[in-house]
Amino acid sequence: MSRLPTTLDDILTTLASHAAIDAAIALQDSYANPYLASNPNLTNDQRERLAKGADINLKSRLANSALGDEQIRIALRDTRHQVRSNLFYSGFKGASPELLQEIASPNLSRQDAHDWLHSSYPIPKTLLKKLITTAFSTNVIPHLKDTEIFTTAELIKQLSRINNAKITSTPLARLLDHRPDAIAPLLELVIPLSRVPKSSKSSKVGLTPDAILTALASSRHIFDQQIFLDVITYSHRLSYLQRRGVLHLLLNNPNLAPDTVSVIVKEFKESKAAAAPKDYDLARKALTARTRLQLTTDWLQLTAKEDITTMVKATEELHKSFFRFPYPTLQPKYFPTAAPTRDDLSGVTLGSLYLVTQSSEPTARILGPQEFDSLVLPLIEPLGRQGWDIFFALSTSWDASVADLVDATSSAIS
């Protein structure tokens, strides 16, 4: 059995040439096959060849890449948990509305609903409520942002039903960024939740005072200082470490008025905790700067350059307390993700394979799928299946340039 260079692995997951895929499958490379199995461009015949004698991990990859009714129905026949979960994680790409309704039957299990909600593939709105009300899991949180599907009361009800794990502050903060209507009802839950004995099972899952107060402390939608004062008051129900985190977030929130910051200064001044003197000094500095930092307008509607600068700096600081960016509604306007660009191919490497041009020496930059498609595919694809057979066979032990590899492939056929 021949082993392809490992740097071709990611390229195999997106390869669109069926001749190239056939050649790669023919190598019977057990290391590369999982990457091939993740390729959504596989034909049914190619999927069958990979599935023959496949272990559960390879079958799971094939389930995850299933596309269209026929492939999905075949994958559904495998009832093993790992395979089935990967199929639901995929979101059933290309499935017909009829098949989706069939899958979301009254017999849909809680686990299946949980896995389906985990998918990044869009779920039809007609099915979303069914999945959410079946799952009772933290995977429902990102899907509660749609006001057309869930009223405020229904949102709170679904959050309260989650019982598979604790709700952490990051998904809750991201949800509140979409649903500021849930701020007041969540604040009302802090006191009853804090009365739940820590030894009880219910205190270990679902909503917690810490997650709620952390999400509220960082909210960009709160301008009512009384809500911030309530967050400060309710933070006394947390451990000092948790409370300290909430108060630090409040200090970084540019919506706090100077009088509210003064309350935090007093809290730290009167605390006997070991970290209190340092926190007190930090809070006093925040109070000194607050008069020129306070924002009183929706962050998406800011026009003054100074206000926008203040908001961006504060957002970057607040982000440090969360696993993901807590303000998804701000991202397109103020924090756009840079679009990928086609890099200059001069000196790009492919691990043990490398590209050499007349004007440059090899570098350590890896050749990725996009560059592979533009550089190698147009040269080898016209040679057909035989060309790909030779290209992959030579690549398993090739240590010269990609350009030489392409030349050698062409020469072997002519």
The pLDDT, as a whole number, for residue 347 is 43
CB atoms within 10 A of CB 406: 19
Residue 240: CB partners within 8 Å, gap ≥ 6? Answer: 271, 273
- Local structure of 189: helix, strand or coil: helix
Contact criterion met (CB below 8 Å) for 176 and 326: no
Fill in the amino acid letter for 304.
Answer: A
d(CA 62, CA 54): 10
Question: What single DSSP character describes residue 396?
Answer: T
d(CA 57, CA 37): 10
Which residue in 379, 344, 340, 395 sits closest to 365, CA to CA?
344
Q: What is the largest CA-CA distance in the chain?
A: 86
The pLDDT, as a whole number, for residue 356 is 44
Contact criterion met (CB below 8 Å) for 405 and 395: yes
Consecutive 10-residue averages of pLDDT for the chain (414 residues):
76 91 90 91 92 91 92 92 93 93 92 94 92 93 94 96 91 97 97 85 82 97 97 94 94 95 93 88 89 86 92 93 92 70 37 44 54 80 87 79 79 77
- Residue 411 buriedness (CB in 10 A; 0-12 / 13-18 / 19+): exposed
Contact criterion met (CB below 8 Å) for 388 and 23: yes
Question: What single DSSP character describes residue 106?
Answer: T
d(CA 173, CA 218): 8
Residue 206 phi/psi, 5° resolution? 70, -155
Which residue in 197, 223, 194 sits closest to 211, CA to CA?
194
d(CA 116, CA 89): 5
The H helix count followed by the E strand count for the chain is 24, 2
Look at the block and give the residue holding tokens 């961006």.
312
Pair of tokens at residue 119: 């998918």
Which residue in 362, 402, 412, 394 sits closest to 378, CA to CA?
402
List the domain boundaries for the chain: 151-329
d(CA 71, CA 404): 39
Q: What is the CA radius of gyration of the chain?
A: 28
Look at the block and give the residue holding tokens 């190698």.
376
Q: Which residues of 348-386 are buried (b: 16+ CB within 10 A; e: fewer)?
A: bbbeebbbbeeeeeeeebebbbebbbebbbebbeebeee
Pair of tokens at residue 317: 């600081």
The pLDDT, as a whole number, for residue 398 is 72
The pLDDT, as a whole number, for residue 297 is 92
Question: What single DSSP character describes residue 357?
Answer: B
Q: Which long-range contacts (CB under 8 A, 24 or more apart) does 145-150 make?
A: 145/175, 145/178, 145/179, 147/179, 147/181, 149/125
Which residue in 217, 128, 223, 141 sits closest to 175, CA to CA?
141
Pair of tokens at residue 217: 């402390």
